[in-house]
């Protein structure tokens, strides 16, 4: 190995280790020397992967299914989790505002930086995908047409799927830089990311629905348009090498390999120059726009009933207006929240479409869709805590407010108005127009009743203080696990509601839920109101 090649290899390894440490531990933990910061990358990853392994228990739903069906379910679930995770973290990883100040004067090629970051994203994606598929490896070994080859083949297909997912996310940013241009990228990237995230979620959801207990059982039964869905590609890869071995499965497996190689070639080779241009000249923030008198209408509405009664006191109203201003006008805030929140609205729509029959929507699907009235604002409120402008949140402490409670409640009302109300109205309209049984509208009530608890949960201990915490990629994994746990709890509540509906005791269930929610709302409200500022530093 020549001296130049050896130097390049050492540089690549150093960059990879640096970016991996920053990604897993987080910039904040290292910068502040927090006592709670993990002592090593392995320690942080261990607990994260244990949690993802627990979520992989969903694989037991595929017991007794053929390899194609099990593979579609596993790859669809993994593709969804990885795509949403990467779309909410890759932007900050690939284009960090502080990075050019550190790397611009060093002899580090932009291509080397891109390779190191893609490798880190791939490693994290592969670890998460491996944890999610751990139980599925052994379930597939006992599938009707499976065997000892399935675990080995599925490990390979999972690696290809992780590579494809990382490559397609990186490629989307590079295409934005190439087509939109660096100057306009920041203003349009939110729209592009939201659209791209919706496409990914549609692909991850339609794949398992196309192949499954109520869909195709063999590759020959998959319609031609189904071959366009990535989860079907990698399920066909499993079926070709460890399942039926059908000729069409081999063709689909070839599509999976070819598409992965093509995406990686484009992302790391053909379009790497677009990334280099964006890295060398950081994306400049757009000049601040002066507020026009026409934009004061929101202030006027907040000062009048009924919005004034709902939002609360002066501090809560100020927080309400501040939060709405950031959600509607600040590009960085929109870029972090909308790509991760808006695409999730597709899921209840898909559930209603799938279960819409002559007799109306499926009972469980409608009950679970109603839970999104609170789940969507909860996710937005949790994400809103993080901002690159977090040092300015010290202003909250300087205000004559004893604790963060009123500020958190104002932000809670803002996200509920912007996200929760439209979701609720859309679900009511869809059910009323498409379901012939108007009584099914009552199935939305469990989600509507639970929404105050779901949206208040992030406010406990003042954690929902808007824009108060630095952007920390390392904490994103842990926070996503908590949110997934809440989604699973919501699914349990929806299941109980559906069961009580079928047994004719829905009224009793709703009465019990209202009583529990009122008690929990009172206790949580007291906790939020009594929260005090933590000691500075």
Q: What is the pLDDT of residue 113?
A: 77
User: Does 306 sit behind a cis peptide bond, omega within 30 degrees of 0 on the bond before it?
Assistant: yes
Q: Contact 486/378 with Cβ under 8 angstroms?
A: yes
What Rg do the C-alpha atoms of the chain give, in angstroms?
Answer: 24
Mean pLDDT for the stretch of residues 357-367: 67
Q: What is the pLDDT of residue 146?
A: 80
Q: What is the pLDDT of residue 513?
A: 93
Which residue did the predictor score with more confidence, 500 or 475? 500
Find, among 109, 105, 92, 112, the residue nearest to 23 by Cα: 92
Mean pLDDT for the stretch of residues 403-427: 90
Backbone φ, ψ for residue 211 (5° rounding): -120, 120
Give alpha helix (H) positions in 385-404.
394-398
Find, among 222, 235, 208, the residue nearest to 145 by Cα: 235
Residue 510: band (very low, low, confident or very high) from pLDDT cuts 50, 70, 90? very high
Q: What is the pLDDT of residue 475?
A: 57
Mean pLDDT for the stretch of residues 512-534: 90
Which residue did the predictor score with more confidence, 348 or 180? 348
Which residue did the predictor score with more confidence, 112 or 445? 445
Q: At a CB cut-off of 8 Å and minimum separation 6, what does 358 contact? A: 436
Token pair for 34: 């927090």
Percentage of residues in the chain having pLDDT higher than 90: 14
The SS3 call for residue 360 is strand
Residue 285: band (very low, low, confident or very high) from pLDDT cuts 50, 70, 90? very low
Q: Which of 85-89, 187-191, 295-299, 326-330 is predicted most confidently? A: 326-330
**From residue 42, how far is each of 16, 18, 124, 479, 481 by CA, in Å?**
15, 14, 12, 18, 18
Mean pLDDT for the stretch of residues 312-330: 87
Asked whether residue 257 carries a pLDDT value surpassing 60, the answer given is yes
The dihedral over CA atoms of 474, 478, 480, 485, expressed in degrees to the nearest 10, equals 180
**From residue 528, how far is each of 71, 303, 406, 524 by CA, in Å?**
45, 24, 8, 6
Q: Contact 207/79 with Cβ under 8 angstroms?
A: yes
Percentage of residues in the chain having pLDDT higher than 70: 69
Q: Contact 422/491 with Cβ under 8 angstroms?
A: no
d(CA 167, CA 90): 11
Q: What is the pLDDT of residue 92?
A: 65
Task: Look at the block and give the residue holding tokens 């992967």.
Answer: 49
The residue count of the chain comes to 537
Say how many Å lie between the first and final Cα of the chain, rounded. 49
DSSP assignment of 415-432: HIIIIIHHHHHHHHHHHH
At 121-145, the pLDDT tens digits run 888 888 888 888 999 888 988 888 8
Q: Contact 456/381 with Cβ under 8 angstroms?
A: no
Q: What is the pLDDT of residue 35?
A: 47
The SS3 call for residue 288 is coil
Asked whether residue 279 carries a pLDDT value surpassing 60, the answer given is no
For residue 216, the cross-strand partners are 211
Asked whether residue 197 carries a pLDDT value surpassing 50, the answer given is yes
d(CA 355, CA 376): 21
d(CA 3, CA 216): 56
Global confidence as pTM: 0.65
Backbone φ, ψ for residue 215 (5° rounding): -125, -150
Find the range with the poorest average confidence among 289-293, 413-417, 450-454.
289-293
Asked whether residue 29 carries a pLDDT value surpassing 50, the answer given is no
**From residue 428, how far is each of 180, 413, 425, 448 by CA, in Å?**
38, 21, 5, 11
Which residue did the predictor score with more confidence, 472 or 429? 429
Q: What is the pLDDT of residue 85?
A: 74
Backbone φ, ψ for residue 386 (5° rounding): -100, 135
Find, among 465, 335, 337, 330, the residue nearest to 410 by Cα: 465
Q: What is the pLDDT of residue 212?
A: 59
**From residue 184, how far is each of 178, 284, 393 by CA, in Å?**
11, 10, 28
Mean pLDDT for the stretch of residues 146-164: 90
Which residue did the predictor score with more confidence, 282 or 26? 26
Mean pLDDT for the stretch of residues 512-528: 92
d(CA 231, CA 78): 9
d(CA 197, CA 203): 10
Asked whether residue 287 carries a pLDDT value surpassing 50, the answer given is no
Distance of CA 323 to the CA centre of its chain: 21
């Amino acid at each position: 190995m020549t001296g130049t090649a050896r130097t390049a290899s050492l540089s690549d390894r150093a960059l990879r280790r640096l970016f991996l440490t920053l990604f897993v531990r987080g910039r904040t933990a290292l910068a502040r020397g927090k006592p709670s910061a993990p002592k090593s990358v392995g320690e942080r990853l261990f607990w994260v992967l244990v949690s993802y392994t627990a979520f992989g228990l969903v694989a037991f739903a595929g017991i007794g299914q053929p390899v194609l069906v099990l593979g579609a379910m596993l790859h669809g679930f993994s593709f969804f989790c990885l795509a949403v995770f990467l779309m909410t973290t890759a932007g900050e990883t690939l284009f960090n505002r502080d990075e050019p100040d550190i790397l611009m004067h060093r002899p580090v090629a932009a291509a080397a930086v891109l390779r190191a970051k893609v490798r880190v994203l791939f490693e994290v994606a592969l670890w998460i995908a491996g944890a999610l598929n751990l139980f599925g490896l052994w379930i597939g070994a006992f599938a009707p047409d499976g065997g000892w080859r399935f675990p080995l083949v599925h490990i390979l297909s999972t690696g290809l799927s992780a590579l494809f997912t990382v490559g397609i996310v990186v490629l989307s940013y590079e295409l934005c830089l190439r087509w939109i241009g660096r100057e306009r990228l920041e203003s349009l990237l939110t729209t592009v990311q939201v659209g791209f995230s919706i496409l990914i979620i549609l692909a991850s959801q339609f794949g398992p629905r196309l192949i499954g207990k109520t869909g195709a059982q063999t590759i020959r039964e998959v319609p031609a348009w189904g071959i366009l869905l990535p989860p079907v590609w990698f399920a066909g890869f499993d079926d070709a090498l460890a399942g039926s071995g059908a000729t069409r499965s081999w063709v689909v497996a070839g599509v999976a390999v070819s598409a992965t190689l093509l995406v990686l070639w484009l992302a790391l080779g053909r379009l790497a120059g677009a990334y280099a241009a964006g890295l060398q000249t950081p994306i400049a923030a757009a000049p601040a726009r002066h507020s026009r008198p026409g934009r004061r209408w929101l202030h006027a509405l907040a000062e009048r009933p009924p919005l004034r009664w709902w939002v609360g006191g002066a501090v809560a109203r100020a927080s309400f207006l501040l939060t709405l201003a950031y959600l509607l006008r600040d590009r960085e805030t929109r870029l972090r929240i909308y790509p991760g929140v808006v695409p999730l609205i597709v899921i209840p729509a898909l559930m209603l479409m799938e279960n819409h029959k002559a007799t109306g929507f499926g009972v469980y699907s409608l009950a679970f869709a109603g839970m999104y009235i609170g789940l969507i604002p909860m996710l937005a409120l949790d994400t809103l805590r993080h901002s690159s402008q977090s040092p300015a949140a010290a202003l909250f402490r300087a205000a004559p407010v004893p604790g963060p409670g009123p500020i958190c409640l104002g932000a809670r009302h803002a996200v509920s108005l912007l996200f929760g109300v439209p979701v609720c109205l859309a679900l009511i309209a869809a059910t009323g127009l498409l379901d012939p049984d108007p009584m099914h509208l009552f199935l939305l009530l469990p989600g509507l009743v639970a929404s105050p608890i779901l949206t208040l949960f992030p406010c406990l201990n003042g954690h929902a203080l808007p824009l108060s915490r630095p952007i920390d990629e390392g904490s994103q994994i842990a926070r996503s696990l908590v949110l997934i746990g809440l989604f699973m709890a919501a699914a349990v509540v929806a299941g109980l509601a559906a069961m009580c509906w079928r047994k004719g005791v829905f009224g009793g269930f709703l009465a019990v839920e209202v009583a529990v929610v009122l008690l929990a709302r009172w206790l949580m409200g007291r906790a939020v109101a009594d929260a005090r500022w933590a000691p500075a530093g």
